[in-house]
Amino acid sequence: MKSEMAAVSENCIMEQRLNPLTGQSEWIVVKLQSESEVDKYDDFGALNERGGSLGHTLYLDMLNDVERNSAYDQAIRKVVAEGAHHVLDIGAGTGLLSMMASRAMRDAVQSRQLENEGDAVIASRVVSGKVTACESYLPMVRLARKLLRANNIGASVRLVHKRSDEMEIGVDLSSPADVLVSEILDSELIGEGLIPTLRHAHAHLLSPVARSVPHRAVLYAQLVECDYLRRRCDLSGCEAEVDDGLRLDVSKSREWYSGFSRAMHVDPLVSHLKVLSEPFEVFQFNFCEVPANHREHALNVPITNSGNVHALISWWKLDLDDEGTITYSTAPAWTREGIVIDGEITGDNVFGTFLETM
């Protein structure tokens, strides 16, 4: 999730690396032991050096995010109370959402048994649901197995070490699931393969009327002027630092970085940026529907402040339940930057096309 997150917390980060043997990207836990390693992050928490890594995430921050966890727990309880026989958890990680689903199913059974107390026949017919979970990253699978056992949930969750698109009904799942739970979102919302994963799940793993936690997501954005963000994507002036006889032509650096996006906390930048538009909705994403491979959204954004558009910052909001009463948002933290334009605004509107694609 949220790769290349900013501030270094507890000096421990998850780092996504390319495995040269398998060609696959995988996540490893990296402990930053020395000051110099912590110094790889600049004052705003962005990574200064890339090395062989593809991205960083504060997995532990995510697990400690009480607001996120409690929103998921409430929404899972709600969907299970409305009736769920088989929950599929895609991207189980530590197994947290599977444990929530298993607990919600056990509680739902107990409360139905209490309601039916005295009617032994009905009570005996109350069947507990099942949870199938999949996780592609082996160290996480091992950790999840330990945690499921430690929480006495081992038997009620079937954990499969596979990518969801390798799973099959009759092999990995006994039947199509009627509830999907997942948290395979990144800071761009759909960047972690959400579209192909959901397309496969709806076609092969879920019942046609399956519900999902989260139910829907909305991506928001805002145009800003921010010299710090501009400088991260504009190398003009850096030639002077090269003193080994080689001359790097950086005159095209703005072109190279055009449309480049990076996940980072924008909060520390607040006093360094000027907002040029109100936040606007870019697109909505419904997890209960088969997503299209590619959609384009043409938007006209009214400008509220004059200045130079250096970046587009964006964030998303989840409606965890279908009524939109249980929500979670990454605003204003965990947003991203993407340099889109570099020029003075002369009119009242900026027109742009946003791509939602796999």
Q: Which of 3, 53, 156, 164 binds ligand SAM (CB under 6 A)?
A: 164
Pairing mode of beta strands 206-213, 311-319? unpaired
Determine, following the binding rule CB under 6 A, whether residue 143 of this chain makes contact with ligand SAM: no
Annotation marks residue 192 as catalytic: yes
CB under 8 Å to 85, separation ≥6 — which residues? Answer: 129, 130, 178
Determine, following the binding rule CB under 6 A, whether residue 71 of this chain makes contact with ligand SAM: no
Q: Which of 6, 84, 88, 90 binds ligand SAM (CB under 6 A)?
A: 90
**Measured distance between the N- and C-terminal CA atoms of the chain, rounded to whole angstroms:** 16
Smallest gap from Cβ 236 to ligand SAM, in A, equals: 37
Q: How far apart are CA 244 and CA 236, in angstroms?
A: 18
8 A C-beta contact, residue 49 and residue 15:
no
Helix H segments across 82-157?
96-115, 120-125, 138-150
Nearer to ligand SAM, 234 or 319 (CB): 319
Secondary structure, 3-state, 89-101: EECCCCCHHHHHH
Nearer to ligand SAM, 79 or 90 (CB): 90
Neighbours of 93 (CB within 10 A): 23
DSSP 8-state secondary structure symbol assigned to residue 277: B
Pairing mode of beta strands 157-160, 130-134? parallel
Q: Which two tokens stand for residue 213?
A: 């936690």
Smallest gap from Cβ 110 to ligand SAM, in A, equals: 25
Residue with tokens 């076609």: 203
Determine, following the binding rule CB under 6 A, whether residue 197 of this chain makes contact with ligand SAM: yes
> How crowded is the C-beta side of 273, counted as CA atoms within 13 Å?
24
Determine, following the binding rule CB under 6 A, whether residue 96 of this chain makes contact with ligand SAM: yes
Contact segment (CB under 6 A) with ligand SAM among 90-98, 237-245, 288-296, 330-338 equals 90-98
Nearer to ligand SAM, 39 or 166 (CB): 166
Nearest to 93 by CA among 61, 53, 136: 136
Nearer to ligand SAM, 62 or 345 (CB): 62
Binders of ligand SAM among residues 273 to 302 (CB under 6 A) are: none
Q: Which two tokens stand for residue 77?
A: 């309880």
Q: Which of 53, 102, 132, 136 binds ligand SAM (CB under 6 A)?
A: 136
Neighbours of 124 (CB within 10 A): 10
Contact segment (CB under 6 A) with ligand SAM among 130-138, 253-261, 304-312, 330-338 equals 130-138
Binding mask 173-192 for ligand SAM (x = CB under 6 A): ----------xx-------x
Determine, following the binding rule CB under 6 A, whether residue 132 of this chain makes contact with ligand SAM: no
Q: Which of 4, 15, 61, 135 binds ligand SAM (CB under 6 A)?
A: 135
Determine, following the binding rule CB under 6 A, whether residue 147 of this chain makes contact with ligand SAM: no
Q: Which of 4, 15, 135, 183 is catalytic?
A: 183
Smallest gap from Cβ 121 to ligand SAM, in A, equals: 38
CB under 8 Å to 285, separation ≥6 — which residues? Answer: 189, 190, 194, 216, 217, 218, 219, 291, 356
Cis-peptide into 214, omega within 30 deg: yes
Binders of ligand SAM among residues 297 to 336 (CB under 6 A) are: none
Determine, following the binding rule CB under 6 A, whether residue 140 of this chain makes contact with ligand SAM: yes
List of residues contacting ligand SAM (CB under 6 A)? 1, 63, 90-94, 96-97, 134-137, 140, 163-164, 183-184, 192-193, 197
- Residues designated catalytic: 183, 192
